[in-house]
Amino acid sequence: MGDLLAALGDYTLRTVALGAAVLGLLGGALGTFAVLRRQSLLSDALSHATLPGVVLGFLVTGTTSGSGLMVGAAVTAALAAGLVLVVVQRTRLKQDAVLALVLSVFFGVGTVLLTYVATTGASGQSGLDRFVLGQAAGLVASDVRVMAVLTAVALAVVALLYKELKLVAFDPTFARAVGYPVRRLEALLTALLVVAIVVGIQTVGVVLIAALLITPAAAARQWTDRLAVMVVLAALLGAVSGAVGALLSATTTDLPTGPLIVLVATGIFLVSLPARALRTRLGARREVSARRAKGVGVR
Amino acid sequence: MSVDLVIVVTAILVVVPCALLGSVLVLRQSVMVGDAISHAALPGIVLAFFLTGSLGPLTAVAGAAVFGLLTVVLVDLLQRGGRVRGDAAIGIVFTGLFALGVLLIARYGGNVHLDLEHVLFGEIAFAPLVTLEVGGVDLGPRSWWTMGVVAVAVVTFVLLLYKELKVTTFDPGLATVLGLSPVLVHQLLMALVSVTVVGAFDSVGAILVVAFLAGPAATAYLLVDRFSVMLATAVGTGAGSAVVGYLLARVWDLSIAGMMAGVVGVVFLTALLLGPRHGLVAAALAERRRRTRLRERLVRHARGSVGEGATVAQLAERLHWPVAEVERVVARIS
Amino acid sequence: MSAPLAVRGVSAAYRSEPVLWDVSFTIPEGRLVGIVGPNGAGKTTLLKVAMGLLRPVAGSVEVFGDPVDRSRVGYVPQRSSVDWDFPTDARDVVEMGTYGRLGWLRRPGRRERRTAERCLDRVGMLDLADRQIGELSGGQQQRVFLARALAQDARLYLADEPFAGVDYVTERIVVDILRELRDEGRSVVVVHHDLATVADYFDTVVLLNRELVAVGPTAEVFTSENIARAYGGAARRAEELHRG
């Protein structure tokens, strides 16, 4: 316990925990739409596709600090998303094959670029390596501020366009029939996903960021049947995973933050699994007593 | 034995089983399960090391195969038991297991030679350096033995169970009726995918092996229409990509596995755009020809209803087209 | 006052063969119209063109004289494109019918909720308002989608095979509501699959088989001759259904 209190007093740790919590919040909220639209694995593919962009950003800007890496990551991720869309729509290949292809080929190109950087002898290669598994400990206050701003913007967009996004996710044909620009709204959702990914890869890395976009949302689904509640709950569970993971990492030795955050999220998910069955049983009981009260026979 | 030869043969021995299994996965829409198995194998390797104290390929493969099957089982459980969609289940299971693996390595693997980077990226350049020694006899590059056995197993599987694979993939209902067991075929398939994927870790790493699972198969799917031809095409393009990728990587002194994956991607893009049957360019051209013929039919029909002396303006009104478009078609058919 | 639905020289194609060929007809106000024809006759395609979901290769469609505005048309699609595991209940789905009128930034409020409940009540589903959409039976889902279209409060309704695969109770409810809409002066156009019920349900019929075979009041137009022309080889069976 003393360890924990000391940890909370530590500025660096507070920063990391805050950053992780913000990331979890963003991942949970946006992940809800991704999971419902069956884009869980798209998150995985797009996050791997950021690697070449990160390296290119470094090559262009010459530094690992600054936003060049993030912009590069967003560009290649968006490119990958567009490629997936085109191939699935226009060929007989199905989404799973295209996702796997995009994921691995983009990542492969990224590793080629990494070795290129190594041959040029430019310093900063270790700075780029941290994107594979993340380096939460490297978060500083300015990073967290940027994350917070991006998160706020993304959440504001979701709040403002909530009913449109809900309709597009649930029944895109009806949405189009009623006159909404469905393709553009879907592109917006994908763009927000890219934002979440780009924000998260510094902290938990390319391989694990998908977890924050999938697991908290899947956990939240077990607790509720209403979309609004699911979004809020997923954000909350994500934030808790982030914060707890960061705290655990600080109070133990040798355990990297990224994987810990993911394990906490997975743990929360596992604990949530029985919730659904429990709710059904409670719901059924409530329904039975209501019918009894009305004097109606129980079936 | 030349270094180039060892590496190229290793690469081909990786590509062959991946292309074959990948073709089946593409047709069954289970390619991402292969990616999941690849990531989830990590804790399997670590635990196998803990249990046996050995870092040898056999133990690694065994541990990984167990975790590969575990992945498939867990994903299945989640889908059936909870309200978890298929793709979310895959994502949850493999990220959870992968995180577990990373933690285990970080905590306990530090003082041992378990290198996470090696698992993720592989290092095929080491292949010529590691030879297999049994009873003091040097049997040649270990990678040839490991992947050779895997390749033979997969080829045997595909050849022996060709009919079963075909029927269970295209029509599982019929398969059951015929007395075949889709479940058994599925389990064998997943087991072989696990073994192949892990066998390939050493050479190309956990993520790039997926490129060989998905890429050549996807390319073949865009080029040919028969299952047997698809298998052969996948193997062919995969092997070609591996060789070219290696050569380029040598010339430019860059990551070999990454370059091979890159070439796989380029080959796919080429097939995507230029494929004679299903490629985008061919499709666009065919579509254009169809539209042109359709437009000519429409103009002729409109002429028929308005009258032979119809002006362009009248035809445009009838068809609700811009006048310029009518003019173009009229010019063409006159 | 412009006609609710004016189709002029519409031809449509997906691939090489046109699915609709030079189809023209006009639907006046206050009619309950059935579109019938064999499979692949282009009935659903016609609806999609009317909704603006598909651009025709020739011709034009006008809804109340306006080629563009889609939000004035109530749409009851076939049940396919929806995500049944989505966390939403019947009331919520019906409320989505009001979104078009709310515009971009406004949130649905009490009024929209009450509209949704009224429409659910009209289709006899009010007591199931809190039920998850995936837990409803096929007929109940169809009624929810009808209620959603009712919530749109449109002057023209397009329905794509609303009776396909539903139970008898649902079918009666849906027909009654469609008749009410017609009696309120709205126009209802229904793609229908069952020849046996055409004469009973619809006052106007459109016989379609890629081309327009016939259009007009059911009593005049729904003859064995026209049916035979529309259904070609299946003529005799169609005739038997008509007589029976």
Subunit contact A173:C77, Cβ cutoff 8 A = yes
Instruction: Kindly state whether residue B135 falls inside one of the protein's structural domains.
Output: yes
Locus of tokens 């007593």:
A289
Q: Say whether C152 and A178 touch across the interface (CB within 8 A).
A: yes
Return mean pLDDT, chain A.
87
pLDDT band at B234 (very low <50, low <70, confident <90, very high): very high
User: Do B61 and B201 lie in a common domain?
Assistant: yes
Are residues B286 and B170 part of one domain?
A: no
> pLDDT value at position C242?
56
Instruction: Quote the minimal CA–CA distance from C233 to chain A in Å.
Output: 34
Q: Which residue has the tokens 């391989």?
A: A207
Query: Any residues with CB less than 8 A from the CB of B249 and at least 6 apart, and which?
Result: A112, B255, B256, B258, B259, B260
- What three-state secondary structure class fits C209? strand
**Residue A286 pLDDT class (50, 70, 90 cuts):** very low
DSSP assignment of B96-154 equals: HHHHHHHHHHHHHSTTTT--HHHHHH--GGGGGG-EEEETTEEEEEHHHHHHHHHHHHH
Domain map (residue ranges) of chain A: 2-294
The predicted model gives B282-310 an average pLDDT of 88
Per the CB < 8 A criterion, the answer to whether C236 and C72 are in contact is no
Contacts of C44 (CB under 8 A, 6+ apart): C78, C160, C161, C191
A104 has a chain B CB within 8 A of its CB: yes
Domain-terminating residue out of B158, B178, B206: B206
Enumerate neighbours of B (3 or more CB pairs within 8 A).
Answer: A, C
- Which chain A residues have a beta carbon less than 8 Å from that of C108? 163
Write the ipTM: 0.90
Confidence at residue A298, expressed as pLDDT on a 0 to 100 scale: 36
Can you tell me the mean pLDDT for A85-112? 94
Rounded CA gap, C239 and B62, in Å? 69
Angle of helix B182-223 versus helix A95-120 axis, rounded to 10: 70
d(CA A17, CA A196): 17
In chain C, residues with a C-beta closer than 8 Å to the C-beta of B85 are 85
* Least CB–CB distance from A177: residue in C53, C69, C105: C53
The chain C residue lying nearest A231, using CA atoms, is C87
What is d(CA B234, CA B242) in angstroms, rounded to the nearest whole number?
Answer: 12
- The CA distances from residue B266 to A26, A96, A102, A215, in Å, are 35, 19, 11, 33
Beta-bridge partners for A167:
none
Q: What is the pLDDT of residues B146-166, one digit of tens each?
A: 888 899 999 999 999 998 888
Chains sharing 3 or more CB pairs under 8 A with chain A: B, C
Q: How far apart are CA A96 and CA A94, in angstroms?
A: 6
The verdict on B192 and B299 lying in the same domain is no
Per-residue confidence band for B224, with pLDDT thresholds at 50, 70 and 90: very high
Q: Which amino acid is at A58?
A: F
CATH class of A2-294: mainly alpha
Does one domain contain both B310 and B189?
no
> C52 — phi, psi (to 5°)?
80, 15
Alpha-carbon distance of B120 to B197, in angstroms, equals 12
Rounded distance, CA A258 to CA A237, Å?
A: 16
Q: Which of A83, A93, A244 should we substitute to test contact with B (largest number of B Cβ atoms within 10 Å)?
A: A93
Q: Residue B219: what pLDDT?
A: 96
- Minimum distance, in Å, between the CA of residue A93 and any CA atom of chain C: 19
Average pLDDT over residues A198-206: 88
B198 and B290 in a common domain: no
User: What residue in B sits closest to A221 (Cα-Cα)?
Assistant: B83
Q: Mean pLDDT across the stretch B4-20?
A: 92
Looking at the complex, does the CB of residue C81 fall below 8 Å from at least one CB of chain A? Answer: yes
Radius of gyration in angstroms for the set of CA atoms belonging to chain A, rounded to a whole number? 21
**Nearest CB to A100 within list B35, B88, B91:** B35
User: Of B191, B206, B221, which residue constitutes the final position of a domain?
Assistant: B206
Suggest the residue from B23, B80, B102, B247 to mutate for an interface test with chain A (most A CBs closer than 10 A).
B102
Instruction: Give the pLDDT score at A296.
Output: 41
For residue A150, the distance in angstroms to the closest alpha carbon of chain B comes to 25
Question: C133: nearest CA in chain A?
Answer: A225
CB-CB neighbours of B157 under 10 Å: 21
* H/E run at residue C25: strand C18-27
CB pairs under 8 A between A and C: 73
Question: Is residue B240 assigned to a domain?
Answer: no
Asked if the structure places residue B106 within a domain, the reply is yes
Q: Tell me what pLDDT residue A47 has.
A: 94
- Is residue B162 situated within a structural domain? yes
Q: What is the pTM of this model?
A: 0.89
Give the pLDDT confidence of B159-206 residue by residue, as tens digits: 999 988 888 888 888 888 888 888 888 888 988 998 898 888 877 888
C90, C139 contact by CB (below 8 A): no
Q: Check residue A184 and give left, alpha or beta (phi > 0: left; psi -120 to 50: alpha).
A: alpha
Q: Which of A198, A188, A157, A213 is nearest to A74 (CA)?
A: A198
SS3 of residue C61 by DSSP: strand
Q: Are A269 and A24 in contact (CB under 8 A)?
A: no
- Of A96, A115, A214, which has the smallest distance from its Cβ to B91's Cβ? A214
Specify the number of domains making up chain B.
Answer: 2
* Spatial distance between the Cα atoms of A285 and B273, rounded to a whole number of angstroms: 59
From the candidates B28, B95, B105, B114, which should be mutated to test the interface with A, based on the most A CB atoms within 10 A?
B95
- pLDDT below 50 — which residues of chain C? 244
Q: Is B91 on the interface with A (CB under 8 A)?
A: yes
pLDDT at site C235: 52
Question: Which residue, among C58, C93, C62, C61, has the nearest Cα to C79 in the 3D structure?
Answer: C93
| Encoded amino acid at A174, one letter | F
**CATH at residue B46:** 1.10.3470.10
User: Rounded to the nearest 5°, which phi and psi values hold at A6?
Assistant: -60, -40
Range of the domain at B111: 3-206
Residue bearing tokens 């749109």: C152
Which residues numbered 166-205 in B keep a CB inside 8 Å of some CB on A? none
CB atoms within 10 A of CB B312: 17
pLDDT in the model for residue C241: 57
